[in-house]
């Protein structure tokens, strides 16, 4: 009992070790993997993220008739390992260091963008 007394007194005199969370928030760490985003303008719909994803939460489809591609991610199945970010050839995938807000509905992240011609072909045309 007496062994703990100095610690108890110290705790009484020092400030609280917890935070008033929703009011007072801590700055996120720079490397924290919070939420996955895709900069769809840079995406070339190569499906590399879909193949590398361990939880198989990313689906990429291409529609050649309309010239558009769709990138769909299930944020509730995503494990935020950032393997897809490491393997993205154009760097269009990135992580934000702020975690996702809670949601009452299960919604998918769906983004549609134009399929760009490969760079080599674009150069040849010029």
Site string for other proteins, 90-109 (x = CB under 8 A): -----x--------------
Contact of 60 with 45, CB cutoff 8 Å: yes
Q: How far is CA 111 from CA 22, 41, 85, 102, in A?
A: 30, 10, 17, 21
User: Which of 44, 125, 53 is closest to 87 using CA atoms?
Assistant: 53
Residue 118 Cβ, how far from other proteins at the closest point, in Å? 25
Q: Examine residue 4 and tell whether it contacts other proteins (CB under 8 A).
A: yes
The residue (of 58 and 113) whose beta carbon lies closer to other proteins is 58
- Burial class of residue 118 in the structure, from the number of CB atoms within 10 Å of its CB (0-12 exposed, 13-18 middle, 19+ buried): exposed
Q: Name which position in 9, 25, 41, 55 contacts other proteins (CB under 8 A).
A: 55
Could you give the dihedral angle defined by the CA atoms of residues 117, 119, 120 and 123, in that order, rounded to the nearest 10 degrees? 100
Q: Does 7 bind other proteins (CB under 8 A)?
A: yes
Q: Which residues between 8 and 37 bind other proteins (CB under 8 A)?
A: 8, 17, 29-33
Q: Residue 50 Cβ, how far from other proteins at the closest point, in Å?
A: 12
Q: Which of 46, 80, 111, 116 binds other proteins (CB under 8 A)?
A: 80
Angle (CA) 73-120-39 rounded to 5° is: 25
Can you give the binding site for other proteins, defined by CB under 8 A? Answer: 1, 3-4, 6-8, 17, 29-33, 52-55, 79-83, 86, 95
């Amino acid at each position: 009992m007496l062994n703990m007394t100095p610690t108890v007194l110290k705790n009484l005199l020092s400030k609280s070790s917890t935070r008033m969370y929703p009011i007072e928030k801590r700055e996120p760490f720079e490397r924290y993997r919070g939420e996955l985003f895709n900069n769809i303008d840079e995406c070339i719909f190569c499906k590399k993220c879909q193949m590398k994803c361990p939880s198989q939460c990313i689906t990429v489809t291409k529609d050649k008739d309309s010239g558009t591609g769709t990138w769909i991610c299930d944020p509730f199945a995503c494990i935020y390992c950032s393997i897809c970010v490491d393997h993205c050839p154009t760097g269009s995938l990135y992580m934000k260091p702020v975690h996702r807000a809670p949601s009452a509905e299960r919604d998918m992240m769906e983004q549609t963008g134009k399929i760009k011609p490969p760079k080599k072909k674009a150069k040849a045309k010029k």
